[in-house]
Amino acid sequence: MTTAASRHSDRRISPVFVGIVAVAAVTGWATWTGFAEQPGVAVFLFVTAAWIVSLCLHEYAHARTALHSGDISIGSKGYLTLNPLKYTHALLSIVLPVLFVIMGGIGLPGGAVFIERGRIRGRWKHSLISAAGPLTNALFAVVCTAPFWLGALDGVPPVFRYALAFLALLQVTAAILNFLPVPGLDGYGVIEPWLSYKVRRQVEPFAPFGLIAVFAVLWIPEVNGWFFDAVEAVLGGLGVEGFQADCGQWLYRFWQGTPEFCVAQ
Protein backbone atom coordinates (compact mmCIF):
# COMPACT_ATOMS: atom_id res chain seq x y z
CA MET A 1 0.00 0.00 0.00
CA THR A 2 1.35 3.42 -0.94
CA THR A 3 1.18 5.96 1.87
CA ALA A 4 1.27 9.73 1.68
CA ALA A 5 4.68 9.67 3.34
CA SER A 6 6.13 7.32 0.73
CA ARG A 7 4.68 9.39 -2.09
CA HIS A 8 6.30 12.47 -0.58
CA SER A 9 9.67 10.74 -0.33
CA ASP A 10 9.38 9.71 -3.98
CA ARG A 11 9.31 13.39 -4.90
CA ARG A 12 11.72 14.87 -2.35
CA ILE A 13 14.71 16.51 -4.00
CA SER A 14 17.75 14.28 -3.61
CA PRO A 15 20.76 15.41 -1.55
CA VAL A 16 22.88 14.29 -4.51
CA PHE A 17 21.20 16.86 -6.73
CA VAL A 18 21.47 19.52 -4.03
CA GLY A 19 25.18 18.75 -3.79
CA ILE A 20 25.64 19.18 -7.54
CA VAL A 21 23.79 22.50 -7.43
CA ALA A 22 26.02 23.57 -4.54
CA VAL A 23 29.14 22.75 -6.56
CA ALA A 24 27.77 24.78 -9.46
CA ALA A 25 27.02 27.70 -7.14
CA VAL A 26 30.42 27.69 -5.44
CA THR A 27 32.40 27.30 -8.65
CA GLY A 28 30.19 29.90 -10.32
CA TRP A 29 31.11 32.28 -7.51
CA ALA A 30 34.80 31.38 -7.98
CA THR A 31 34.47 32.06 -11.71
CA TRP A 32 32.76 35.41 -11.10
CA THR A 33 35.19 36.65 -8.46
CA GLY A 34 38.36 35.26 -10.01
CA PHE A 35 39.01 33.42 -6.76
CA ALA A 36 40.65 30.46 -8.49
CA GLU A 37 44.30 30.83 -9.41
CA GLN A 38 43.51 29.03 -12.67
CA PRO A 39 40.26 30.49 -14.06
CA GLY A 40 39.94 27.54 -16.41
CA VAL A 41 39.65 25.12 -13.50
CA ALA A 42 36.78 27.12 -12.01
CA VAL A 43 35.08 27.33 -15.41
CA PHE A 44 35.50 23.59 -15.95
CA LEU A 45 33.91 22.74 -12.60
CA PHE A 46 31.16 25.35 -12.95
CA VAL A 47 30.13 24.37 -16.48
CA THR A 48 30.35 20.64 -15.76
CA ALA A 49 28.23 20.92 -12.60
CA ALA A 50 25.71 23.20 -14.32
CA TRP A 51 25.59 20.83 -17.30
CA ILE A 52 24.83 17.89 -15.00
CA VAL A 53 22.09 19.98 -13.36
CA SER A 54 20.57 20.55 -16.80
CA LEU A 55 20.81 16.82 -17.56
CA CYS A 56 18.87 16.09 -14.38
CA LEU A 57 16.25 18.68 -15.31
CA HIS A 58 16.04 17.22 -18.82
CA GLU A 59 15.22 13.78 -17.45
CA TYR A 60 12.95 15.23 -14.77
CA ALA A 61 10.92 16.98 -17.47
CA HIS A 62 10.38 13.65 -19.24
CA ALA A 63 9.37 12.00 -15.97
CA ARG A 64 7.09 14.76 -14.71
CA THR A 65 5.29 14.97 -18.05
CA ALA A 66 4.88 11.19 -18.10
CA LEU A 67 3.46 11.25 -14.57
CA HIS A 68 0.81 13.78 -15.52
CA SER A 69 0.10 11.83 -18.70
CA GLY A 70 -0.80 8.66 -16.83
CA ASP A 71 2.36 6.77 -15.85
CA ILE A 72 1.93 6.72 -12.08
CA SER A 73 4.91 4.36 -11.70
CA ILE A 74 7.32 7.25 -12.27
CA GLY A 75 7.47 8.29 -8.63
CA SER A 76 8.45 4.87 -7.31
CA LYS A 77 11.41 4.79 -9.70
CA GLY A 78 12.91 7.88 -8.07
CA TYR A 79 12.92 9.98 -11.22
CA LEU A 80 11.18 12.90 -9.52
CA THR A 81 13.96 13.29 -6.95
CA LEU A 82 16.36 14.69 -9.57
CA ASN A 83 18.92 12.14 -8.42
CA PRO A 84 21.05 11.17 -11.44
CA LEU A 85 21.89 7.87 -9.73
CA LYS A 86 18.25 6.84 -10.09
CA TYR A 87 18.31 6.94 -13.86
CA THR A 88 17.99 3.70 -15.76
CA HIS A 89 21.30 4.31 -17.55
CA ALA A 90 23.56 6.60 -15.55
CA LEU A 91 26.27 5.99 -18.16
CA LEU A 92 24.09 7.32 -20.98
CA SER A 93 22.62 10.18 -18.98
CA ILE A 94 25.64 11.53 -17.12
CA VAL A 95 28.99 9.99 -18.03
CA LEU A 96 28.73 10.02 -21.83
CA PRO A 97 27.24 13.53 -22.07
CA VAL A 98 30.08 14.90 -19.94
CA LEU A 99 32.62 13.07 -22.12
CA PHE A 100 30.99 14.52 -25.24
CA VAL A 101 31.41 18.00 -23.79
CA ILE A 102 35.07 17.41 -22.96
CA MET A 103 35.87 15.81 -26.31
CA GLY A 104 33.94 18.01 -28.70
CA GLY A 105 32.02 20.73 -26.94
CA ILE A 106 28.74 19.05 -27.83
CA GLY A 107 25.80 18.81 -25.47
CA LEU A 108 24.14 15.48 -26.14
CA PRO A 109 21.99 14.03 -23.36
CA GLY A 110 21.15 10.35 -23.63
CA GLY A 111 17.87 8.69 -22.78
CA ALA A 112 17.61 7.28 -19.29
CA VAL A 113 14.05 7.51 -17.97
CA PHE A 114 12.07 4.31 -18.40
CA ILE A 115 8.45 5.23 -19.08
CA GLU A 116 5.68 2.66 -19.11
CA ARG A 117 4.11 3.80 -22.34
CA GLY A 118 1.27 1.31 -22.02
CA ARG A 119 -0.17 3.39 -19.20
CA ILE A 120 -0.42 6.48 -21.40
CA ARG A 121 -3.29 7.11 -23.78
CA GLY A 122 -3.17 9.60 -26.61
CA ARG A 123 -0.53 10.27 -29.24
CA TRP A 124 -0.15 13.91 -28.25
CA LYS A 125 0.78 12.88 -24.71
CA HIS A 126 3.47 10.52 -25.98
CA SER A 127 4.88 13.26 -28.21
CA LEU A 128 4.87 15.81 -25.40
CA ILE A 129 6.72 13.44 -23.07
CA SER A 130 9.51 13.11 -25.63
CA ALA A 131 9.59 16.84 -26.37
CA ALA A 132 9.74 17.86 -22.70
CA GLY A 133 13.45 17.07 -22.33
CA PRO A 134 14.90 19.11 -25.20
CA LEU A 135 12.43 21.91 -24.49
CA THR A 136 14.00 22.07 -21.03
CA ASN A 137 17.42 22.49 -22.65
CA ALA A 138 16.02 25.27 -24.82
CA LEU A 139 14.64 27.03 -21.74
CA PHE A 140 17.96 26.57 -19.95
CA ALA A 141 19.70 28.22 -22.91
CA VAL A 142 17.34 31.20 -22.72
CA VAL A 143 18.03 31.57 -19.00
CA CYS A 144 21.82 31.27 -19.45
CA THR A 145 21.82 33.95 -22.12
CA ALA A 146 19.46 36.33 -20.31
CA PRO A 147 22.27 38.80 -19.48
CA PHE A 148 23.17 38.87 -23.18
CA TRP A 149 19.74 39.38 -24.73
CA LEU A 150 18.69 41.74 -21.93
CA GLY A 151 21.80 43.86 -22.45
CA ALA A 152 22.68 43.44 -18.79
CA LEU A 153 26.36 42.54 -19.12
CA ASP A 154 27.69 45.62 -17.34
CA GLY A 155 29.61 44.46 -14.31
CA VAL A 156 29.64 40.82 -15.40
CA PRO A 157 33.28 39.61 -15.46
CA PRO A 158 34.41 38.49 -18.93
CA VAL A 159 35.39 34.99 -17.77
CA PHE A 160 31.93 34.45 -16.30
CA ARG A 161 30.35 35.72 -19.53
CA TYR A 162 32.37 33.23 -21.52
CA ALA A 163 31.42 30.40 -19.17
CA LEU A 164 27.73 31.26 -19.55
CA ALA A 165 28.12 31.49 -23.32
CA PHE A 166 29.69 28.03 -23.50
CA LEU A 167 27.05 26.59 -21.19
CA ALA A 168 24.39 28.10 -23.44
CA LEU A 169 26.10 26.55 -26.46
CA LEU A 170 25.82 23.14 -24.81
CA GLN A 171 22.12 23.66 -24.20
CA VAL A 172 21.48 24.76 -27.77
CA THR A 173 23.38 21.79 -29.20
CA ALA A 174 21.48 19.46 -26.87
CA ALA A 175 18.12 20.89 -27.91
CA ILE A 176 18.88 20.77 -31.64
CA LEU A 177 20.38 17.28 -31.62
CA ASN A 178 17.69 15.81 -29.41
CA PHE A 179 14.99 17.13 -31.71
CA LEU A 180 16.48 15.28 -34.68
CA PRO A 181 14.04 12.56 -35.82
CA VAL A 182 16.67 9.87 -35.32
CA PRO A 183 15.68 6.60 -33.61
CA GLY A 184 16.83 6.65 -30.02
CA LEU A 185 16.62 10.44 -29.71
CA ASP A 186 13.74 12.52 -28.40
CA GLY A 187 12.94 13.91 -31.83
CA TYR A 188 12.03 10.46 -33.04
CA GLY A 189 9.97 9.96 -29.90
CA VAL A 190 7.95 13.03 -30.86
CA ILE A 191 6.97 11.64 -34.26
CA GLU A 192 6.90 7.93 -33.41
CA PRO A 193 3.29 7.88 -32.14
CA TRP A 194 2.17 9.20 -35.51
CA LEU A 195 3.93 6.51 -37.54
CA SER A 196 2.33 3.28 -38.64
CA TYR A 197 2.93 0.13 -36.63
CA LYS A 198 4.86 -1.36 -39.56
CA VAL A 199 7.26 1.58 -39.76
CA ARG A 200 7.82 1.57 -36.00
CA ARG A 201 8.69 -2.13 -36.07
CA GLN A 202 11.13 -1.61 -38.95
CA VAL A 203 12.87 1.28 -37.21
CA GLU A 204 12.98 -0.21 -33.71
CA PRO A 205 16.19 -2.28 -34.18
CA PHE A 206 18.14 0.87 -35.04
CA ALA A 207 17.19 2.81 -31.90
CA PRO A 208 20.17 1.66 -29.77
CA PHE A 209 22.57 3.00 -32.39
CA GLY A 210 20.99 6.39 -33.05
CA LEU A 211 23.06 8.31 -30.51
CA ILE A 212 26.31 6.76 -31.73
CA ALA A 213 25.39 7.43 -35.35
CA VAL A 214 24.69 11.11 -34.70
CA PHE A 215 27.95 11.56 -32.85
CA ALA A 216 29.86 9.78 -35.63
CA VAL A 217 28.27 11.93 -38.34
CA LEU A 218 29.22 15.07 -36.42
CA TRP A 219 32.87 14.09 -36.79
CA ILE A 220 32.55 14.67 -40.55
CA PRO A 221 34.09 18.15 -41.01
CA GLU A 222 31.44 19.43 -43.44
CA VAL A 223 28.55 18.28 -41.26
CA ASN A 224 30.25 19.61 -38.14
CA GLY A 225 30.69 22.99 -39.82
CA TRP A 226 27.05 23.21 -40.90
CA PHE A 227 25.87 22.16 -37.47
CA PHE A 228 27.92 24.71 -35.55
CA ASP A 229 26.98 27.43 -38.04
CA ALA A 230 23.36 26.74 -37.09
CA VAL A 231 24.24 26.74 -33.39
CA GLU A 232 26.10 30.03 -33.75
CA ALA A 233 23.10 31.54 -35.53
CA VAL A 234 20.83 30.56 -32.64
CA LEU A 235 23.29 31.92 -30.09
CA GLY A 236 23.55 35.11 -32.11
CA GLY A 237 19.80 35.47 -31.89
CA LEU A 238 20.17 35.21 -28.12
CA GLY A 239 22.76 37.96 -28.07
CA VAL A 240 25.86 35.78 -27.72
CA GLU A 241 28.81 36.52 -30.00
CA GLY A 242 30.75 33.61 -31.42
CA PHE A 243 34.04 34.48 -29.74
CA GLN A 244 32.37 34.43 -26.31
CA ALA A 245 31.34 30.79 -26.61
CA ASP A 246 34.75 29.98 -28.13
CA CYS A 247 36.54 31.56 -25.18
CA GLY A 248 34.27 29.65 -22.84
CA GLN A 249 35.27 26.41 -24.50
CA TRP A 250 38.96 27.33 -24.39
CA LEU A 251 38.67 28.09 -20.69
CA TYR A 252 36.75 24.87 -20.12
CA ARG A 253 39.49 22.85 -21.78
CA PHE A 254 42.16 24.64 -19.79
CA TRP A 255 44.65 21.78 -20.09
CA GLN A 256 45.08 22.66 -23.77
CA GLY A 257 46.01 26.25 -23.02
CA THR A 258 43.82 29.35 -23.17
CA PRO A 259 44.37 32.38 -25.45
CA GLU A 260 45.46 35.42 -23.47
CA PHE A 261 42.54 37.58 -24.59
CA CYS A 262 40.10 35.07 -23.10
CA VAL A 263 41.46 35.51 -19.59
CA ALA A 264 42.15 39.24 -19.70
CA GLN A 265 39.89 41.06 -17.25
Cα atoms in the 13 Å half-sphere on the side-chain side of 96: 14
Q: What is the DSSP string of 71-92?
A: -TTTGGGTGGGT-GGGSTTHII
> Alpha-carbon distance 108 to 73, whole Å?
26
Q: What is the pLDDT of residue 111?
A: 59
How does DSSP classify residue 14? P
Specify the DSSP class assigned to residue 35: -
Count other Cβ atoms within 10 Å, centred on residue 26. 15
Question: Residues near 184 by Cβ (< 8 Å), separated by ≥ 6?
Answer: 111, 206, 207, 208, 209, 210, 211
- What does each of the 265 residues of the chain score in pLDDT, given as a tens digit? 455 444 566 778 999 999 999 999 999 999 999 888 789 999 999 999 999 999 899 999 999 999 999 999 998 888 999 988 887 666 666 677 778 788 767 887 655 788 898 899 999 999 999 999 999 999 999 999 999 999 999 889 999 999 999 999 999 999 999 999 999 899 999 999 999 999 999 999 988 888 888 888 988 999 999 999 999 999 999 999 989 999 999 999 988 887 877 876 5
| DSSP H or E segment with residue 222 | helix 221-237
Predicted TM-score of the model (pTM): 0.91
Kindly report the number of other CB atoms within 10 A of residue 149's CB atom.
12
59 is catalytic: yes
Confidence at residue 62, expressed as pLDDT on a 0 to 100 scale = 94
Catalytic residue among 59, 222, 232, 260: 59
Q: What count of other Cβ atoms lies within 10 Å of the Cβ of residue 25?
A: 14
Residue 203 confidence (pLDDT): 92
Query: Which pLDDT belongs to residue 114?
Result: 85
Q: What is the pLDDT of residue 5?
A: 47
